[in-house]
Amino acid sequence: MTLPGFVMLLCILGAQATMDPRNAAAMAAGLCNTKPTDVVFIIDSSRSVRPAEFEQVKVFMAKVIDGLNVGPDATRVGVVNYASQVKNEVSLKSHKTKAALVKAVSKIEPLSTGTMTGLAIQFALNVAFSEAEGARKSPDISKVAIIVTDGRPQDNIQNIAARAREAGIEIFAIGVGRVDMTTLRQMASETLEDHVDYVESYSMIEKLTKKFQEAFCENVSDLCMSGDHDCEHICISTTGSFKCACRDGFTLQGDGRSCSACSNAATDVVFLIDGSKSVRPENFELVKKWINLIIDKLDVSETNTHVGLVQYSSTVKQEFPLGRYNNKKALKEAVKKMDYMERGTMTGLAISFLVDTSFTPNQGARPGVPKVGIVFTDGRSQDYIGEAAKKAKENGFKMYAVGVGNAIEDELKIIASEPVTDHYFYTADFKSINQIVKKLQINVCQVEDPCECKSIVKFQKKVEEALQALTKKLEAVTKRIAALENKIV
């Protein structure tokens, strides 16, 4: 059989089998496109949910949101908070970016009264999923409710849940601890095994993140499957078209289709770390650990990546310049020894120092080597940052902005390089900053033997399994065709 004929047969009989490994690879690379969806979280904050447990629910929501393609024409997210009463915390029309959504989620407070789950579902049906609150009427836009509860409802949920499902709302029910499993099953959509989840405690709810990211992940489109592209590694569907991506350890080339192994290219990286009094000593220690996690990802050596560190508050202090330490162990020890300044927040002054001092040859910067600045802050700058940030980017520096807690989203955007959404990050609290390490793509990675790269081996194995399944289907179809031909003769 010719290759085009085989591809056609894949499209007809085995599209799903080949979609799975491609989607798995795409999601592993953080490239999965999510279908346009209206998503509403319905969150139990009754008195049985302790404050620390409610914080874990907020972290879970933030991580699910992080896996979505958020935007006015993509996925919209709302949050309904309930106990004895119901509060519309975030409407579907409120926030258009992930950072804004995550920040809004971080500010939600528990209501700490009873458990009126039926009332909450009624509110979602009548209000949260209404056009007035930002829901879309198009039949192409899915409506999804994710309910998280740890108790037995004090009102009837069966009838109202049925009406919500009849209205086209797909309901996922997550139960925690001593939850009543019968009511979970009464709420959830079919099939129940796909729409009902249980965890023993709120500390374990985070493990469900991947399931929901996969649930919203859009399958590779027929365009990607039909051969109407020439992506070297992975084809990801987008609205009406496709985009190419590469497996771990490879970068997409300028033609947008071919991939090559990352080179150990020389890079100068400088961290600008907020040491203002609002950070607090215990959180400053978490920031130092976060820096060292990023250093672990870099190819630090005399000829490749050099790292510098600057701390700022009311003044700016260079902890160490580029090139002073050329191995990870020495770098990480130097980071650990950094003392907390504990004063104001002069972010503009710090960025000016980066431009005028840190990235100069006198301080170890290498001519012709790409420059990367990583600015970390937990609050509003006390000086103007616009001019310094503009100068940094005009000089060709790639600027990342990382905010936590009370950081100002607009300031992060001013600091960040284009495309802004790829270069600024926000998290609600210091304990979550390690998640940002995975998202920072500084374009420095170690060359691996493609035959030994674990991610590629895993990808190949999944493709092989899919092809084996398709071969079996092909054999069965061939037998059926032969049987039909015999009957015709």
pLDDT tens for residues 8-27?
A: 333 333 333 334 444 444 44
Task: Flag whether pLDDT at 98 surpasses 80.
Answer: yes
pTM of the complete model beyond 0.85: no
pLDDT one-digit tens code per residue, 55-73: 999 999 998 888 888 888 8
Instruction: Please report which confidence band the pLDDT of residue 124 belongs to, taking 50, 70 and 90 as the band edges.
Output: very high
Sheet holding 398-404, edge to edge: 316-320, 305-312, 267-274, 371-377, 398-404, 424-427
Angle between helices 15-28 and 3-13 (to 10 degrees): 90
Instruction: Please report which confidence band the pLDDT of residue 236 belongs to, taking 50, 70 and 90 as the band edges.
Output: low
Q: What percent of the chain has pLDDT above 90? A: 46
Rounded CA separation 477/452 (Å): 37
Q: What is the pLDDT of residue 254?
A: 58
Rounded CA separation 220/105 (Å): 31
Instruction: Please report which confidence band the pLDDT of residue 243 belongs to, taking 50, 70 and 90 as the band edges.
Output: low
Task: Flag whether pLDDT at 253 surpasses 90.
Answer: no
- The pLDDT of 395-422, averaged and rounded, is 89
Please confirm whether the linkage preceding 21 is cis (ω < 30° from 0): no
Letter for the amino acid at 115? T
- Where are the extended beta strands (E) located within 91-131? none
Rounded CA separation 274/284 (Å): 9
pLDDT one-digit tens code per residue, 443-470: 544 434 444 444 555 555 666 677 777 7
Nearest Cα to 413, choosing from 384, 432, 389? 389
Letter for the amino acid at 63? K
Per the prediction, the chain carries an average pLDDT of 81
Adjacent-strand bridge partners of 79: 41, 90
Give just the sign of the alpha carbon dihedral 438, 89, 157, 190: negative
Q: What is the pLDDT of residue 317?
A: 94
Contacts of residue 132, Cβ cutoff 8 Å, sequence gap at least 6: none
